[in-house]
Amino acid sequence: MNNPKNNTLTPYPRRQLGGLEVSALGLGCMGMSDFYGPADDTRNLAVLNHAVDIGINFLDTADMYGVGRNEELIAQLLKTRRDEVVLATKFGNVRAADGSFIRVDGSPEYVRAACDASLKRLGVDHIDLYYQHRVDRTVPIEETVGAMQRLVDAGKVRYLGLSEASAITIRRAAYVAPIAAVQSEYSLWTRDMEDEVLPTCRELGIGFVPYSPLGRGFLTGAIRKPGDLSAGDWRHHNPRFQSDSLDQNLALVDAVTALADQHGCTPGQLALAWLLHQAPDIVPIPGTRRIERLDENAKAATIRLSSDELRAIRDLIEASTVVGTRYPQEHMGAVNA
């Protein structure tokens, strides 16, 4: 494994995601407006511009992030750099103005209204990749995807995606319209996608976008105790970050850190490089609000792992026990739906 430095003369690596050409790593923008404590839009806009400057062109947002504020933040970048960005956003999680959750809505009427609202907030005439954020179990997926395809026909959307969809749902959706990408949590400590979803995507030619590829920051080694999280950080409510679970899960982080130290990279870079080696159509979207962390993550795309190194990492994670579900129990019904 090497530990390369950014070279502005070398184009950032690209991958194919459905019919989209995107940077090998994208940028998840959720934390810039929600869930991880106070944020500063000026600093976040600097991070967004720096991402595009170094060749990371794939930006991921959703209408629910900050109840629209995240899309409005990205709109400031898009005013001058729209042609440099592959823009992904999502619909389906409906929140009130105060941020409280109302429902998941996949009705055709809502699909159309949500898209129009996102286009207005983003200040663009089309969305490159439009995901259903969560599957609405009360609406047949065929109806939801049919409405999404009509957005493509109208020129408002270029490509379609699903998030946290089961293998069966993906197959049903792909029968109605081409699906370019499926987005779900996938990392060294969340690998349930490997059982059915990833093989289905591979069979159908659908790209895969891992969100939280750094275990919501845990795999970087920066979080050792609940006190390392700010008071407003939603991870205080995540089962894997509770005191007892956190203590046990640190064993995996420490083992990953030891491997990374041997090879001269950070644990976060090792975690991202491992994901990138799983398949050529996997495009992780780590999030950050710091330019230095963005640069660190970006270097993972040029790290090369040998078959022996990949086997050692696989042996390590298969021998590890991750304690806690990836969401509070009341929210687990919305994943892999």
Provide the phi-psi class of 308: left if phi over 0, else alpha when psi is between -120 and 50, else beta: alpha
- DSSP output for 229-252: S-TTBGGGGSGGGSHHHHHHHHHH
Q: Record the tokens describing residue 43, joined without a space.
A: 């600093």
- DSSP output for 115-128: HHHHHHHHT-S-EE
Q: Decide if 180 contacts 160 (C-beta within 8 A).
A: yes
Helices vs strands, H then E, count in the chain: 10, 11
Q: Which amino acid, residue 157?
A: V
Q: Record the tokens describing residue 157, joined without a space.
A: 């959307």
Q: Record the tokens describing residue 299, joined without a space.
A: 């270097």
Q: Decide if 84 contacts 49 (C-beta within 8 A).
A: no
Helix (H) or strand (E) holding 163: strand 157-163
Residue 65 designated active-site: yes
Q: Give the Cα separation of 218 and 224 in Å (integer).
A: 8
Q: Record the tokens describing residue 211, joined without a space.
A: 């969100």
**258-274 burial string, b = 16+ CB within 10 Å, else e?**
ebbeeeebbbbbbbbbb
- Out of 65, 110, 131, 159, the active site residue is 65
Q: Which amino acid, residue 231?
A: A
Distance from chain centroid for Cα 1: 25
Query: Catalytic residue numbers?
Result: 65
